[in-house]
Structure 1
Amino acid sequence: MPRTLQGSLFDCPDEGRAGEAVPGALDGVRRTQLGAGAWVDVLPAWLTGADALFERLVTRVPWRADRRPMYDRVVDVPRLQRFYDEDEPLPDPALDAARAALSTRYATELGEPFRTVGLCWYRDGNDSVAWHGDTIGRGARFDTMVAIVSVGAPRGLALRPRGGGAAVRYQLGHGDLLVMGGSCQRTWEHAVPKTRRPVGPRISIQFRPRGVR
């Protein structure tokens, strides 16, 4: 069973907006150049009210427990998932607001809006995602962006150069924003490793342009 979420003392919406999840300004985003044309933008606690949003998503989203072939057997995907294509209504207005704010901020650089939304629920330290890049579609050939907003308890996300090398690690939760841009999906990989440490549940909200998975 997933551990209970311990809320952040700093995740407090403005008075009169209790329960709302509100994207903040993006002026304070900090960019790190990773090399080979890849970069990462990070802005802690971008989304206020993130803990309440986590609780709503847990109950509103029709989560899927998928299975996949691996070698000579079929195994459970170690996380719950749900993908919303660009024509599907999103499960909470906060996701619409976040997508609109990110599209406005990155419109010039990306050249198009964010359209799809993917959700992954990491229930505890046994849930994970292996090293990969979002290279199904245009991300395999062209520069693009994938924006991730994390709600729930902090969890490690690691990036490393494709082919091996030293990893860069971030602890993301409670409304933190991370944007992978440039050649990141082609030249770097990212993962959420398993951990034996006691960790709370986290939902990763991924915003992507059309044709990137």
Structure 2
Amino acid sequence: MAVQLQGSLFDVADDVGLRRPLAEARRTMLTHGAWIDVLPGWLGGADLLFEALAETVPWRAERRHMYANVVAVPRLLAHYGEADAPPHPVLAAARDALSAHYAEELGEPFRTLGLCLYRDGRDSVAWHGDRIGRGAEENTMVAILSLGEPRPLLLRPRGGGAPRVRQPLGHGDLIVMGGTCQRTWDHAIPKTARPVGPRISIQFRPRGVS
């Protein structure tokens, strides 16, 4: 996959690994029982991992029905189910660390990985919640590890009533959306006309949440 990443001056690690304990994540309470945990720089060597995933993951382009048209999904995708080995050992370690840290609150492990490659500012994801499956009716968690160029993750409550949240993510940053977040809030990565480099998002989910 030919994508050009401008490396971060702050990510100078010569190996890839989890650098900060999850206990250092900062929690922000939202409305209606939703919350987010944010941990900047959770992963060291994030640029090295970006390069490895960009080259080795079997990225695919998808087309989806939208109203009366079939349109291209504005990002590349990959998915690893419960029986699939993650595309890099550190992602298995990250999944295990998330499962252990959130075991009491979540009550089950994170099991699947979804990956998105945003090639430039034209790639995006529209407002949505992960409400296909159990997320439509149950409290759950979705953890996102961000690699590459920072892009803002926007969150807004469904139906309004509270300000939007803007959370820049990149170069090994982690965000975990929990509680009712998938049911009562939506999130998006907007398009931008600014010249931005590529970004990879890795989503860790429990069984039956997508």
User: What is the TM-score when the length of structure 1 is the normalising length?
Assistant: 0.94
Describe the superposition over 1:45-87 as per-residue Cα deviations: whole angstroms up to 9, x where unpaired.
0000101000000011000100011222211000000111111
Q: 1:134 corresponds to which residue?
A: 130
Residues 87, 178 of structure 1: CA spacing in aligned structure 2 closer, same or farther, 3 A cutoff?
same
Q: 1:43 corresponds to which residue?
A: 39
Distance 2:36 2:6 in 1: 27
Structure 1 residue 2, shift from structure 2 partner = 7.3
SS at match of 1:102: helix
Q: 1:76 corresponds to which residue?
A: 72
1:171 aligns with 2:168: yes
Q: 1:11 corresponds to which residue?
A: 11
SS at match of 2:187: strand
Describe the superposition over 1:106-158 as per-residue Cα deviations: whole angstroms up to 9, x where unpaired.
01110011000000001101000000000011100010000000011100110
Distance 2:95 2:187 in 1: 22
1:193 aligns with 2:165: no
Structure 1 residue 35, shift from structure 2 partner = 1.1
SS at match of 1:27: helix
Q: 2:148 corresponds to which residue?
A: 152
Residues 23, 96 of structure 1: CA spacing in aligned structure 2 closer, same or farther, 3 A cutoff?
farther
1:202 aligns with 2:191: no
Q: Which runs of 5+ in 1 are unaligned?
A: none
Q: Which runs of 4+ in 1 moved over 3 A?
A: none
Distance 2:140 2:2 in 1: 33
Deviates more, 1:162-171 or 1:95-104: 162-171
State the identity as a percent.
Answer: 67
1:66 aligns with 2:96: no
Distance 2:68 2:139 in 1: 35
Deviates more, 1:27-36 or 1:156-165: 156-165
Q: 1:114 corresponds to which residue?
A: 110
* Native 8 Å contact 1:21 1:53 kept in 2: no
* Native 8 Å contact 1:39 1:181 kept in 2: yes
Q: 2:23 corresponds to which residue?
A: 27
Number of aligned residue pairs: 209
Distance 2:65 2:15 in 1: 40
Distance 1:41 1:10 in 2: 22
Paired AA for residue 5 in structure 2: L
